[in-house]
A and B are shown apart, each in its own frame.
Chain A
């Protein structure tokens, strides 16, 4: 639980360490390619994918351009339904609000369903300081928590672990957290899942307070929506007396019927399923059913800074499907930890520097952790033009004071692009896509291209872009 991203080495160093780890690279490659294929198959089933994508983008844009209206509407609806809304300007305030709410119940244990927002604010650490133990219940999060590790993927946080490693972790660590692993535990995924079920069962049935995030928050009705697979979400959302949900202000959608777009886009784009096993929706308190005390903590923590940047704003459309991670040649080689944040991959490369500013070494390096091949834009279900934002952020870093920018850029780019073979591999993929791509693709690819031009894979390689910016032998100013 002490694991944290603070003080991570900046991207190039972390990336270099990661690329040297053959097991990690093998696990990652297998995993990302598996999800990519599944996703392509279920997205290909829908001949109107391009239409859904355009609608998803527009609904989010409508929400963001009038976010104040929707936030107030959401608050009123939740309140009318018996829930309580809290506002948190930053991580410290959100942690304080949640800690106080838990302490007020008199409980010292909480169960958690996977939530990026609570990882972002490092809620578990804050709760621990107040003597409260937070139990992660998502299988992958459990693996990460038991091994005192960090998540490396949005959807599959333990993507960097194989079954043999997971068995070791369960065998060595479960007893310290609750029910021990059964004797003679094997490494069959079925047996490992069963061990997790047994380990958490009694915890679920006993714990009185749960903390969750939300995938969507409906402004009109005050409804929160959580998509999941295992049922740990349902356990957390249903069994406790008190439910506290930490929700980024960008999670809003205007109306109930807008969900018809996102409940099609997200499962297919994320896990590559027509629908995920379980989706729960709840609106305030339902007498006699589920938690009778329901809190929603609306979190800013840098999001309004992202909103203020008219180019970078689009990053707030993100529905955290992780398709951009799975397609990214850089992510595939480095893994998630190299990004120094709970938001890895291409989305992390644009979100983290915007949320935290580009002052730190990691944040300044992230916009350079890309070959600008454009594959992330292509797969994004809400059409976030990640390359556009990356270039925009590079300009911002390059415009910063002193030699900071040069160091950040050459450090990161040096890793991705400095090694001839890596560069060639990345660029080959990119330019293959480029030269093969007419403005509109026929066949299944049409889903991606019908409503828009193909992503601009930059003419210019990073090397020449950097040379042009900085001049030979000169640092950027």
Chain B
């Protein structure tokens, strides 16, 4: 039986939870008797807002949208200042932005508000500095590689969550020690006699 999307379902058996049990503590699934808490919010009952397509057409003497010369401008973009019509105006962080500014910022990886993912170069450096050291000999390659990663990605955008640079520092320290050990070994072998 396909489930009507406007239902809330028990995650265990997929049976719809009766509306009488919504927003109620100590409710149970009618089928499998699993304790269920179904919280519903006003957005569940409101229809999705229809897109504002009724943009006023430009009349003589009025400013026009930068992207649609025939539409009337309603606001300027808070970043680049271009005039925007109601369709182009995107509310973003409590400001009005144009689609192009949002796209440009997100491509540069500057927008923590839009990024779907981030690389963790500090973890990469730390893994390069530690795991190969267990086998000792790979560090002749991985230690310089670690230093390269640290320098190359020091300023690269990291996690959008709070995060310190401590992993970079530890990785750089370990890599330096590993390189130092190799240099010491070489010198030791040369000057042994």
Chain B associates with chain A: no
